[in-house]
Amino acid sequence: MTAQNLLVELFVEELPPKALKKLGDAFATVLGDQLKAQGLAPADAAVTAFASPRRLAAHVTGVLARAADKAVSQKLMPVSVGLDANGQPTPALLKRLAALGADASAVAGLKRAPDGKAEALFHDSVAPGAELASGLQKALDEAIAKLPIPKVMSYQLETDCELPGWSSVNFVRPAHGLVALHGGSVVPVKALGLTARHTTQGHRFEAQVSPVVLKDADSYAATLAKDGAVIASFAERKAEIARQLAAAAAKVGGGCRPIEDDALLDEVTALVERPNVLICEFETQFLDVPQECLILTMKANQKYFPLLDAQGKLTHRFLVVSNISPADPSAVIGGNERVVRPRLADAKFFFDQDRKKTLASRVEGLGKVVYHNKLGTQGERMERVRAIARAIGQQLGGEVLAQQADTAAQLAKTDLLTDMVGEFPELQGIMGGYYARHDGLTEDIAFAIEDHYRPRFAGDELPRNMAGVVVALADKLETLVGMFGIGNLPTGDKDPFALRRHALGVVRMLVEKNLPIDLSALLQSAVPAFGALITDPSAALSDFIYDRLAGGLREQGYSAQEVDAVLALRPSRLGEVALRLQAVRAFAALPEAPALAAANKRIANILKKAEGEGAAVQEALLVEAAEKGLFDAMQATVPAANAKFDAEDYTGSLQALAALRAPVDAFFDGVMVNADDPALKANRLGLLRELHQAMNRVADLSRLAT
C-alpha cells in the first residue's frame, strides 16, 4: 500500500480572529490523531496546520489508501460457560460466535488462556483495515465536532440532491467549500453539506484566478500563495507581518520600533490573508494626551501598531497591516488616518474634561457606586482599604508612610468615575496617577495611585514605592478578606473576582519586597475594617494563600518535597521562604540528610503516639550511653544551630545539625524509648521532643524522607 500525503481544507466566511489560531491547531490535531488511531497514518506522521481568515486546513504526511489489516483477539466467555462436560459448545457460545459472524466450525480454533483465576475462550480474527474514504470521513466529522467554537451559527444550505430544498447547518461561520486531496486524488468525503473537490478560493480581491485549482496535497500552500495571493500558514503570515513591521519602523528611522504586543500580532494575523504594512501618522497635538490612552485606542479599536522612539515614547506615526496591496497606497493610508483621528480626538476630549475636576472632588461619588450587595458601595470599600492601609503603613514605616498610604487609598478608586476610564477601563489606576499629578499631589502619591492594582498579571511589575506597596496590599486584602468573609470562594475554574490572582499578588509583594510583616498578622489586621459584615475568614484565607505560594514555588523549579518541608511549618514571614528552600536543598545534598530525615519522621510518629507525655530533660535520668551521647551532642550542636537560625543563616543552621546523625542513629539502636519506668520514658520523650524542635526550625525535615 503506497502512502501519500493528505490535504483537507474547509473554506468558510471570515472566522473570529481571536479564536482563529486555536481553531486551526485544533482542527489539524484532531484530524491527524483520528487518522493515526485508525492506522491510516503512521504514529510519526507530520501534521501541519493552516489557518487564515477564510480557511482551516491540515496537511498530514504518509497517509495510506487503506490501513493494514489488524489481528484481533476477542475474549468470549469462561471455558466452563462456553463448553459443556463433554467439551461441546453451549448455546451461549454458539450465540456469541454467531454475533461475530462465525458458526460451530470455529469452536475448534478457539484459544484457551488464563483470565484471572479462571480459563477463558478467545476468538482470533483479522479485522480489515479502514478505507481512506470512510476513515477520513470519520476523522473529519470528529475534527469539526471537537472544534473549540466560541459561538455557533445556524444557517441554511441548499440540499445537494434531486429534490429541491434547504437544510440547516450549525458551524462557527457559513462554509462554502471542502477540499480533500490524497496525493492528487480527491477523497469523496462530505461535511457541512459540502462535497470534497480539488478547488478552493484565494484572496477576496487579489487572487490571480478563481477558483484556485490544487494539483495535489503538497502544492497547497505554494499554489495558494501564487494563484490565490494567500499565505495559508498562520505562523508564516505572523512572521511576515513581524518582518514588515520591523522594516517599516526602520524606514521611519530615529530608532523607532513598533510596540510589542503578541496578542495584537496574533489578532492582526487572523484578520489578513496577504499582509501589507503601511506607515501612517496623526497630528502631533494629540501627543499631549497620555500615551497610554493613545496606544490603547489605536490597539484596541483600530488594531494599529503605534511606533515608539528610542526612549520608548510614543511618536505621531503608526503602522497599519492592510489586507490589500494597491500600486498606490495613498488612499488606504489616508483612510486609516481619517479613521483614527476621531478616536484620538475623543481621548483628548476625555482627558481635558476629566482634569476640570480634582480627584478629591470625586470621592463623594464613590458612595453612589455599588461594589457588592453584601459589602456595600465603592465608597465603603474605599474606607476599608484606607483602614487596612493605615494599619500596614504604621507597621512598615510609621506615621509618615501611614499618612501617605491613607491619602493614596482615599483617591485610588476615584478615576473610576472619570470619562477616560469609563471609555477605557484598562486605564484605571494609570489615569489616576496622571490626574493626581495635575492636582498637585506628590510623585509618591501619584505612583501609589497608579500602581495599586499591581501586579495585575503573572510577571507584572510590583509597585514602585512603599506607599504603592502598602495600598496594593490593602486593596488586595480587602477583596480577599471580604469575599472569603461572605463565603464567595473560587470554585473550579470559576474565579469572577480574581481571588487567585489577588492572593498571588499578596505573596509576590511579601516575598519579593521581603516585608517584615507576618502573614497571619496581616490577615488579622484587615478583618476589623469589615465590622459585622463578614465572618472572620483568616484560617481559610491563610490556607488559600499558602496553596498559591506552594504552586508558585513548584513552578519556579523547587521539588514538591522541598516546598512541603518548608511550608509545613507555615513560616509567617514569607520573605524568608526562599532562604529556607535554599537551606533545605543544600541540606538534602549532604550524606547525613537521608538518615536524619528518616529519624525525624520516626521521632514525629513517636511523639504523635505519646501526645501529652514527656517531661523536661533531667540529665540525672539519662542512664544509657547512647542517650547520654545524644544529649551531649545536642548541647554542643543545638546552640550553634539556633544562633545561625536567629541570624537567618538557615543553611548554616541545618548543616550544623548534620553532626547529630551518628548520635541519633546510636540512640535508636541502643535505647528503648517506651521504657517500663515512667520517669525514664518521660525523660526520653522529652529528649526527643527537644531534638525534634531543634531539627525542625527551618523546615519539617521528615517531609524529605522517602
pLDDT digit string, tens, across residues 274-331: 999 999 999 999 999 999 999 999 999 899 999 999 999 999 999 999 999 999 999 9
pLDDT band at 159 (very low <50, low <70, confident <90, very high): low
Burial of 249 (0-12, 13-18, 19+ CB in 10 A): buried
Cell of 289: 494626551
Cell of 1: 500500500
pTM, two decimal places: 0.80
pLDDT band at 255 (very low <50, low <70, confident <90, very high): very high
Nearest to 177 by CA among 154, 157, 205, 152: 157
Largest CA distance in the chain: 107
Q: The CATH number of 375-557 is which of 3.40.1000, 3.30.70, 1.20.140, 1.10.3210?
A: 1.10.3210
Taking the alpha carbons at both ends of the chain, their separation in whole angstroms is 53
- CB of 576 closer than 8 Å to CB of 595: no
pLDDT score of 228 more than 60: yes
pLDDT score of 155 more than 80: yes
Which amino acid is present at 377?
Answer: T
pLDDT score of 163 more than 50: no
Distance from C-alpha of 620 to C-alpha of 627, rounded to nearest angstrom: 11
Other residues' Cβ atoms within 10 Å of the Cβ of residue 236: 14
415-451: string of b/e by CB count within 10 Å (b at 16+)?
Answer: bbbbbbbeebeebbbbbbbbbbbebebeebbbbbbbb
CA atoms within 13 A on the CB side of 393: 28
pLDDT score of 164 more than 60: no
Q: Which CATH class is domain 577-704?
A: mainly alpha
- CB of 403 closer than 8 Å to CB of 420: no
Burial of 505 (0-12, 13-18, 19+ CB in 10 A): buried
pLDDT digit string, tens, across residues 431-473: 999 999 999 999 999 999 999 999 998 889 999 999 999 999 9
Cell of 114: 488464563
